[in-house]
Structure 1
């Protein structure tokens, strides 16, 4: 039997479940710090596919821009071991003129926090690789998954 190490549990809220593999860990059995960005980037990619409409194109391609990483931050809360299971919930935070934030909170299935992270893409023109404003169509798509931002409140009234 083949067991997946990662799969989507829910679209609303968006949550993926990941099982820690032995190969993610050092000889003492603790997950390498460098594996956490991999967990984040994988969750962000799946979340971005949902926002894009799961149409086989990236979120940026769907809206005519590139969306490289401008920055990412982590707050590590709990150590992980082989076989541990985490649920990573993703949502859109602040939406600025050219960049936006994807927030991710990882917890065990029993609800114990594991890490908080933020991934911040920036929109760039595909032809020149220079920053550009978030296209209106992308902004509208992001707002559907946003939480706790003033722009969202305005859009809902």
Structure 2
């Protein structure tokens, strides 16, 4: 875990830095539209790892707890390019009985490039059946909800 991730684990705003590569870009020399949700999901996956000790893979395989997405929406504000690091800010907006809602903002060189909301539901991974948020996870997550 890098220094930024360590500091973010103690804050309600988690910051994940992504290096945008040439291969992420289209002929217009900006990131492919489909890469932007990917970058946001990468940041959320890292958020899970830092705050619970489980990324999506480990949660599904080691705990039998999945968190598939049931909703996502994004607004694009400025192009993402390989010129600057992409700083993704993840905030936990709401922790429901069996769902969790995040916001993600992507910035480059201080300019807002995209923002969106992402909703996951807790499921028993093998049965793909909705479950309440596990108590041990809930205890860690409740303190992270942005007021």
TM score, norm. by length of structure 1: 0.77
Q: Provide Cα deviations, 1:75-123, integer angstroms capped at 9, x if missing partner.
A: 11111222232211112111122111122111224x2211112221111
**Number of residue pairs matched?**
140
Q: CA deviation at 1:37?
A: 1.3
Distance 1:8 1:62 in 2: 26
Structure-to-structure mapping, 1:55-94, within 5 angstroms? 58-59=58-59, 65-94=65-94
- Contact persistence 1:52–1:58 (CA under 8 A): no
Q: CA deviation at 1:133?
A: 1.5
| 1:122 and 2:121 matched | yes
Greater fraction of residues in helix: 2
* Closer/same/farther in 2, CA of residues 8 and 31 from structure 1, 3 Å limit: farther
- Match of 2:123, SS? coil
Q: CA deviation at 1:136?
A: 2.1
Distance 1:71 1:59 in 2: 20
Unaligned runs of 5+ in 2: none
* Closer/same/farther in 2, CA of residues 144 and 25 from structure 1, 3 Å limit: same
Q: CA deviation at 1:53?
A: 2.9
Unaligned runs of 5+ in 1: 1-6, 149-157
* Closer/same/farther in 2, CA of residues 93 and 62 from structure 1, 3 Å limit: farther
Q: CA deviation at 1:61?
A: 6.1
Higher Cα Rg, which structure: 1
* Closer/same/farther in 2, CA of residues 91 and 60 from structure 1, 3 Å limit: farther
Q: CA deviation at 1:33?
A: 0.3
Which residue of structure 2 aligns with residue 29 of structure 1?
A: 29
Greater fraction of residues in strand: 2
Which residue of structure 2 aligns with residue 39 of structure 1?
A: 39
TM score, norm. by length of structure 2: 0.81
